[in-house]
């Protein structure tokens, strides 16, 4: 056995799941980057009914890629769940089709799993094009369960990227221990897109799994390239996810401070989106999501909320994402 073969054999196998919808122009670069990784992996592309030739691209890929065709757009979470179910590796990595990973991305992303058996999820580092600005290093939560990409918009300075307040990975660059992912039932398929990684993180934390960061696992993210930056469709879908999460986790019942902050923040967010888009997409989405959350309950575990993020901090973070 060669030295490289021995190293590959010793490395725990990985399943890389890429959900995609009409992202052929992005997927090609993503697959090329994964083919150049320093460790072996099994790549599974789950196509949500694309009409742009995505399936043909995957079939003709130079490196082995498994294709799952859903026939219609079921959303991010359902697509990932089907991709994960199609694999068997002990670790699952999620990569958005608009992310191009450095060659050492996978190797470094799963290294923290060796630190403790309680680590069920790991957050990678996403940079914006030109690699000068941070896009996200995992997620942080305020007391209303609004999630924000950590260090977003800040200059990329590796020494400043700590793990204080790290709650969960962003779904665009995340690794999960398969045991943990399956233990909580994967993504909640009531969420079509957005906040599914937050919901999964809450359920994992509630069952004792912990999150670690891998700041040297780097990918470059073309922000919202698939859905369209702040399209009205994006606003309505994101609003539905927000409304669903507010009801599922009973944010308005978590205490007077949380309820007041949630009402103020949501009023401001909906108002801003209504003025910017000149429609009621944000409000429609929240109403639809609230109705969808009827009868669904979730637990907010201790220690996951960053109480230092007050209303002003939350609004500033929301504004940065507009």
pLDDT in tens, 51-105: 999 999 999 987 889 999 999 999 999 999 999 999 999 999 999 999 999 999 9
Report the distance separating Cα 51 and Cα 192, nearest Å: 19
Predicted confidence at residue 320, as pLDDT, reads 76
Pair 252, 171 in one domain = no
Q: Is residue 155 part of a domain?
A: yes
CA distances from 168 to 114, 186, 198 (A): 18, 14, 7
Choose the weakest-confidence range: 108-122, 193-207, 226-240.
Answer: 226-240
Q: What is the C-alpha end-to-end distance of the chain, expressed in Å?
A: 53
Q: Is residue 226 part of a domain?
A: no
Query: Which domain covers residue 93, as residue numbers?
Result: 3-221
Pair 274, 185 in one domain = no
Domain count, the chain: 2
Interval 25-61: pLDDT, tens: 999 999 999 999 999 999 999 999 999 999 999 999 8
Q: Are 92 and 204 in contact (CB under 8 A)?
A: no
Does the pTM exceed 0.85?
yes
Pair 201, 252 in one domain = no
Predicted confidence at residue 35, as pLDDT, reads 95
Give, for 93, the enclosing helix (H) or strand (E).
Answer: strand 91-95
| Tokens of residue 3, six digits | 């030295």
Of 190, 221, 252, which residue constitutes the final position of a domain? 221
* Strand partners of residue 148: 140
Q: Is residue 208 part of a domain?
A: yes
Of 193, 221, 249, which residue constitutes the final position of a domain? 221
Interval 244-263: pLDDT, tens: 999 999 999 988 999 999 99
């Amino acid at each position: 056995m060669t030295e490289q073969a021995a190293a590959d054999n010793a490395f725990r196998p990985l399943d890389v799941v890429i959900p995609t919808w009409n992202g052929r122009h992005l997927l090609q670069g993503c697959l090329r980057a994964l083919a150049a990784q320093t460790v072996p992996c099994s790549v599974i592309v789950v196509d949500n009914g694309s009409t742009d030739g995505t399936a043909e691209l995957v079939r003709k890929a130079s490196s082995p890629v498994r294709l799952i065709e859903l026939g219609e757009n079921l959303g991010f979470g359902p697509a990932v769940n089907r991709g994960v179910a199609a694999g068997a590796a002990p670790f699952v990595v999620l990569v958005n089709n608009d992310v191009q990973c450095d060659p050492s991305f996978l190797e470094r992303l799963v290294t923290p799993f060796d630190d403790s058996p309680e680590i069920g999820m790991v957050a990678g580092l996403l940079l914006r094009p030109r690699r000068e600005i941070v896009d996200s290093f995992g997620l942080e939560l305020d007391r209303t369960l609004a999630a924000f990409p950590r260090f977003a918009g800040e200059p990329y300075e590796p020494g400043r990227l700590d793990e204080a307040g790290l709650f969960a990975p962003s779904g665009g660059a995340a690794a999960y221990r398969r045991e943990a992912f399956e233990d909580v039932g994967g993504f909640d398929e009531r969420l079509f897109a957005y906040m599914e990684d937050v919901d999964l993180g809450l359920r994992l934390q509630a069952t004792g799994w912990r999150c670690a960061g891998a700041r040297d696992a780097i990918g470059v993210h073309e922000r919202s390239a698939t859905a369209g930056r702040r399209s009205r469709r994006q606003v309505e879908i994101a609003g539905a996810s927000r409304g669903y999460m507010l009801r599922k986790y009973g944010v308005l019942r978590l205490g007077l401070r949380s309820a007041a902050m949630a009402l103020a923040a949501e009023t401001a967010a909906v108002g801003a989106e209504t003025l910017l888009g000149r429609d009621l997409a944000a409000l429609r989405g929240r109403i639809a999501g609230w109705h969808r959350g009827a009868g669904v309950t979730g637990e907010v575990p201790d220690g996951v909320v960053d109480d230092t993020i007050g209303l002003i901090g939350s609004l500033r973070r929301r504004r940065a994402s507009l």
